[in-house]
Amino acid sequence: LKLVPKKPVPRPFLKRPLTWANVLLLAGLATFWLFFRPLPTVGGGEPDSAAATALKARVYAAVSRQDEVGFRRIDPANPGGWLLSFREAPQSLETYQSQSLIRPTPARRTIVLQPVGAMSAADALLLEKLRAYTEGFFGLPARVVPQIPLPAAQGDILRGNQFHAGRILSEVLQPRVAPDAMVTFGITNADLWSEELSFVFGVGDDKSVTGVMSLARLRPSFWHAKPAPDGEARVLRRACRLLSHEVGHVLGMWHCVFYKCVMNGSNSLLEADAQPLHLCPVCHRKLAWNTGADGSRRYSQLLGFYRAHRMNPEAEWMQARLERWKKIAARVQTR
Ligand SMILES: [Zn+2]
Ligand SMILES: [Zn+2]
């Protein structure tokens, strides 16, 4: 009789005892999923997915009812032109805080407005108004620096008479970033284009902390429209909206899909004109968290600007918001 040693039968995977290697592997996979899972998206003419609806509900739940007065949520059934065409990932405050962002430091906290290309005396006045608006909106110092020429019109930088927006950032603005500049933002009369779009009103790039906007399409003359008596006021409102939107992008804010807000995407001047100049409660909190801007101070400064420039609907809205905000801030302080 010969004894044959019995071969050990391997246990099925799921019944094996958990080894440290397995635990570490599972923990690693879970962490990877937590940080790198794709965010749900909304828009593009499709109904919101269950994940996107849940994310939006969490964001809305973090805004108190008192804080929400005066704001309008975006109706997913009727989201407007931009969201009908493009898909966007909702950016919550937590998502914003988890990104690598430019933030003001004692040495670098100025928003530099850089005129690019020919500017008239009237443009210089508009730039000064935009500088004051930038200070009020972002709660940071802003200055206008002397004008510099557009890049040489060679190669593919020009398409018809439009300049490539990204090349203005890389060839004109990035080499000239001042030592105290937190954001370097170009303003030009040239019309702009970008890769897949036939034109852009402006761009804001959080990686290079530069952006540029064009005044060309903000003027009725571009559209061969008759000069209106309120033409100048309309151009100022459009320029304020565009500048704060693009600099918002430079500070890492994505398009807002929660409320009617200055951070909404817009496909046309008509759509942009219908959008408010203010940040919604979610986007306001992103800015306040980033720069430490004080709400009451920010709202007071903007109210002063709107009054000085007879922007009556904005002034009225801001007056009411400031009063509500003081109550909200007082309640938070006494808690
Ligand atoms: Zn945008
Ligand atoms: Zn918003």
Which of the ligands is closest to the CA of residue 74?
2
Task: Report pLDDT for 14.
Answer: 63
Contacts of 149 (CB under 8 A, 6+ apart): 116, 117
Which of the ligands is closest to the CA of residue 194?
1
Which of the ligands is closest to the CA of residue 257?
2
Task: Report pLDDT for 335.
Answer: 58
For residue 268, pLDDT over 80 is answered with yes
CA of 267 to the centre of ligand 1 (A): 10
Task: Report pLDDT for 181.
Answer: 98
Residues pairing with 88 in the sheet: 42
For residue 199, pLDDT over 90 is answered with yes
CA distance 291 to 283: 12
For residue 46, pLDDT over 70 is answered with yes
CA of 263 to the centre of ligand 2 (A): 5
More confident residue, 4 or 314: 314
CA of 326 to the centre of ligand 2 (A): 20
CA of 166 to the centre of ligand 1 (A): 14
Residue-wise pLDDT tens digits, 96-122: 999 999 999 999 999 999 999 999 999
Task: Report pLDDT for 4.
Answer: 65
| CA-to-CA dists, residue 246 to 203, 215, 239, angstroms | 6, 13, 11
Residue-wise pLDDT tens digits, 74-97: 998 888 888 988 999 999 999 999
Q: Is 113 helix (H, G, I), strand (E, B) or coil?
A: strand
Task: Report pLDDT for 77.
Answer: 84
Task: Report pLDDT for 229.
Answer: 75
CA of 149 to the centre of ligand 1 (A): 25
Task: Report pLDDT for 136.
Answer: 98
Residues pairing with 142 in the sheet: 111
Instruction: State pTM to two decimals.
Output: 0.88
Contacts of 125 (CB under 8 A, 6+ apart): none
CA of 132 to the centre of ligand 2 (A): 22
Task: Report pLDDT for 17.
Answer: 65
Task: Report pLDDT for 2.
Answer: 59
For residue 26, pLDDT over 70 is answered with yes
pLDDT-derived band at 280 (thresholds 50, 70, 90) equals very high
More confident residue, 35 or 134: 134
CA of 91 to the centre of ligand 2 (A): 9
- Please report, in angstroms and rounded to a whole number, the separation of the first and last CA atoms in the chain: 87
Of these residues, 88, 246, 314, 316, which one is catalytic?
246
CA distance 331 to 290: 23
Helix (H) or strand (E) holding 192: strand 191-194
Q: What is the mean pLDDT of residues 271-293?
A: 96
Is 246 annotated in the active site? yes
Nearest 10 degrees: CA dihedral of 64, 68, 69, 71?
A: 180
Which of the ligands is closest to the CA of residue 248?
1
